[in-house]
Structure 1
């Protein structure tokens, strides 16, 4: 990155009130500025890192939501969903768009980009030449998905959920006198999320059953339903038979009592747990799917925000080399190609792509 070719990066405030994370922490913001990036950071009272720490390393400060009037060519950087306005998106945006697997609202989002001549550079599709993601929150999503499942199973989960630190979370996770043993299954155990889920369960004193591609290729449904707790960490990219079906919920032999869906692909045809129609929230994190025998669901789609400092620091460290290489890196070209392909697949005609 040089001063002549460096982009204007604009770190936006997150509209979602429960979003505490950031894709760039102050230490990495300093490295971007030192490398010649023009960095603007929006004020955000909920972000785990205060705005003063960004200002101290040379970033410019802007009001929350002011990215809508940022200069042409600005690259807007965030994590979660955009507000509904403006109707036309003129900038390149880097964030998790959740728009390529037929999720609800996906087509509408892509049409906004096409109408404005902007582009979505989806962080989920920022991958290397082998298709491996270059920056992800998966480990901490899995860790928290399993942790919440354990706390609920032990009747120690309190609502509303509040952000914490790992040391404090682990203290509540460790088994206490009188805690009964339970069986746990992690599906997708070899991926980032699966590793996180296994680590949390180990901290909780459980030795989980670990399934991955081999075990799910020929699913032993009876064995799955025999576990007390299941944590789903599978991010399907092609349709597969569901792991848990509606009829399984009514199986009188079902031992499964707590289901934690880290992936949260609700609404997508690729969803491997098509037994619920909406995610759960920090204010009400558990939803009962069946009364007898009881089965409770945890499906929170921004789990790492509950450990905002640790998860942001790890993600930012992985994303930084890609931002330093923006826009020349092949990974960004792959991101942009994936956006254009998604528009073509939906029959969306793109407008002026001068900024893309």
Structure 2
């Protein structure tokens, strides 16, 4: 080969090398390393938001469970309740009966002994008039009969006490209303009155239990609109035995209007008895006593009053007689309810209040229990006093 040809061959090889190296520079680094060419990022795809858990919707015919009905109590029968008082008095040892028997069983009764007996009766709130009558009768019988043994003395004392308590009085609470002009039976309307603190609203609730125990239908009228808790308290008593309470939606409403509505509802529903609770009143407050007279007038437009029961605290003594006197003039009291008679020292108030008003004690409160209200029985009461 000629030198010239060889020279051109080397020149051609050099050009190829230069051209090849430049082309390599134009290739992306990634491809030069043998990797795949980068791809354009894919557009972001939004994920759907998480759905809230489905809410259960009851079908149209689904039954929604009602709250449980309140438990209605069955009151204890009223018959025989006073036996509990008699037994309680006998176990505790009545101060009245014990003192009388201890004096009367002495061998020789002096004037001082008779004075002690009369003082004992006066301390028991029996009243001066009844105490004098009892002492005179006892002195005569002891002198004539010449009795000294305890059993005979006790029998004489029982007879004399029973005589002044007077078992002949009608002590039944009127729970049968009169007939209306159209021949329908009107409800018996029982108005309950008294001063503050005697347990009046509680007595109304307990009386409702007595009537329910005797299978009488009852409506309660919460006419004590001055004490905020009175209507609630009465409604609670009624609900426990399934008795409805008529009340006002606001405090300070007209008591006569509430009482009227209760009697009207009782008449429309054919209820046996309507018990109307009134505000506790002080007998020396003329305005409150006038309002009580208004309640009486308004209620009688719908149905006549069958009973006006005066609630007295047996421990108030002679002050209870002043209350009884004023209430008797304003409201025409027909019966007495003595509360807190489970205390034994003041049992003579039974005699005193009957003499003062000329109306009987019809019910007595024996304690704090819901069924501790009993029809008064003269014989059982005297037996309890004497132990």
| TM superposition score normalised by structure 1 | 0.33
Q: Which one has a larger percent helix, Structure 1 or Structure 2?
A: 2
Which structure has the larger Rg?
Answer: 2
